[in-house]
Structure 1
């Protein structure tokens, strides 16, 4: 039971596709919210945050401000990732956040993002994994790869994610074989760069996947009748089943994906690219199963200001 004399923290993770909020006195969580705002809409092509994307993000932040005000929050950390790293008008976004929440967003480097993702994912595990653990965090604009045994030892942030790659390569519904091949080539080039930077996926003894692309793929492999955090969190999926489901998912038109009972409508159009990232990462490992964690960078941000 939470000690009523302790004060709460609030953490916000603002990515390319989602904005997430966690309020709590850790390890207890009072509020966990996710809004699909597609802040990174068009950033890969234009280098700017679109006006309508900013409007969607600010509407979500207004709602979060109300939730934060309703709890005894004493510390708030707002972290922004790939879309704001890459946008020319990031200051406009930062000023809007400050006006609504009274804090300035921290634009994380790829290395900072990787460390927080690793901590959030690994701290959540009920049964700690032995050996070297690879944490894979597939976002809308970037993918973080973090290797470590108890703590991060090597990390690499790839500029490939579900929104960025879908907008760049997958223009048909469903994507053509040529489009998929071009997308895979981009992913493989990024993975080659990761290996050159010291992140050897083949050395991992276990793989933990986090964030919405991975959890959605897990729901599909499990064939859930509706999305269930309890069913997805810390499930172990045979890698062969993940590969088979990704192939099916990429071949589906968006309307068919929207009809899947566990699919969030804000993810259905871009999950093909994100699923391909997961597929290509797993093909470079030697693990037989994928561990899926509902805890991710948001939890890492929260723990960084708790205590």
Structure 2
């Protein structure tokens, strides 16, 4: 089967596609550019749990690879129906860490024709910043952007922009090897107990503290003017609970800003539901029940270290960042100007 990287449409505006294979989910987004931003033509998301068992074996298990391959095959079918002018497909933490990750992606390429690129933590952070650029304008002079993933949590410490100013400047970033899948597998049913949840929070606090010691984010928050921006399923779920939504609505959640008290209240409400309540909640459901409290524990650790007055919720991530970059590169190419993506500064190693 031929690759998809340079397929073109014969009529109408060009289509761009971004495919993100993470530790927990496989997500596709197809869009066409507008004067500002883009219009979504098609989207797909499926929980594949590619990182199942990875923390203990160091390998992707066969069942997880089959789930991911099935989802990618569905994405390939969608792309065949809507051929894209440009496609970028990336794999993240699970394929980075697994000893058989490269072999699995070769199998994907042979089976579906989609050629995945394994990106590093630095580019993950860059793409998250890219996708949330429009949310960064505000009264605060600093922002901490975070993405609680399946196998890792990405952090980016930003000098925020005000309306009309230049784009935000990234001061520092880190990829912390702690995510909802790793915590769920480590703690199992204990995650639903008060003691287990508290232990998960302590794990996360210890993992994030070196980043705080480097950048003194807690001190900045104490002086005011810092906002948290979250791009993960954990924070979108918290927002759905805080807003009392009868079902999840991206239109109501993406870009919504919670006060610190609202975020903390939603966190407490989720923790109090227990497994039965989480199973029945319209913003959670059976597919995600195992991962909600581990994600909440990571968020609780952030709130302990970084109790900012506001938390902005973003239902966007790597796919949106990839699309923005692809479209911008084409605009620059057509205008004759070279495209140079803004790079993050070199990461400083965490404290021992």
Give the 5 Å matches for 1:165-176: 165-172=183-190, 174-176=192-194
Alignment of 1:1-307 (within 5 A): 4-26=11-33, 27-123=38-134, 125=135, 130-149=140-159, 150-172=168-190, 174-177=192-195, 179-198=196-215, 200=217, 202-203=219-220, 205-306=226-327, 307=330
Alignment TM-score, normalising by the size of structure 2? 0.80
Indicate the structure whose relative CO is greater, using CA pairs within 8 Å and at least 6 residues apart.
Answer: 1
- Given that residues 256 and 313 in structure 2 are in contact (C-alpha distance below 8 angstroms), is that contact kept between their aligned partners in structure 1? yes
Between 1:277-286 and 1:160-169, the stretch displaced more is 277-286
Shift of the 169–199 alpha-carbon distance from structure 1 to 2, 3 Å rule, reads: farther
CA RMSD of aligned residues (A): 2.1
Residues 197 and 50 (structure 1), Cα distance of their counterparts in 2 relative to 1, 3 Å cut? farther
Asked if 2 retains the 8 angstrom alpha-carbon contact of 1:203 and 1:285, the reply is: no
Unaligned runs of 5+ in 2: 1-9, 160-167, 331-352
CA contact (8 A) 1:24 1:30 kept: yes
Over 3 Å counting, the alpha-carbon distance change for 1:105 and 1:244 in structure 2 is same
Separation (CA, whole Å) in 1 of partners of 2:317 and 2:92 = 13
State whether residues 121 and 174 of structure 2, in contact with CA within 8 Å, keep that contact through their aligned partners in structure 1. Answer: yes
- How many residue pairs align between the two structures? 303
Deviations 1:220-265 (A, max 9, x none): 1212101111111111112223223323323433232010012143
CA contact (8 A) 1:170 1:273 kept: no
Unmatched tracts of structure 1, length 5 or more:
none
- How has the CA–CA distance of structure 1 residues 31 and 128 changed in structure 2, closer, same or farther, with 3 Å as cutoff? farther
Give 4+ residue runs of structure 1 displaced > 6 Å after superposition: none
Classify the secondary structure of the residue corresponding to 1:305.
helix
If the length of structure 1 is used for normalisation, what is the TM-score? Answer: 0.91
Give the Å deviation of 1:196: 4.0
Q: Offset of 1:199 from its aligned partner?
A: 6.9
Deviations 1:179-221 (A, max 9, x none): 2232122101111122245473553621111121111111112
CA distance in 2, matches of 1:113, 1:175: 32
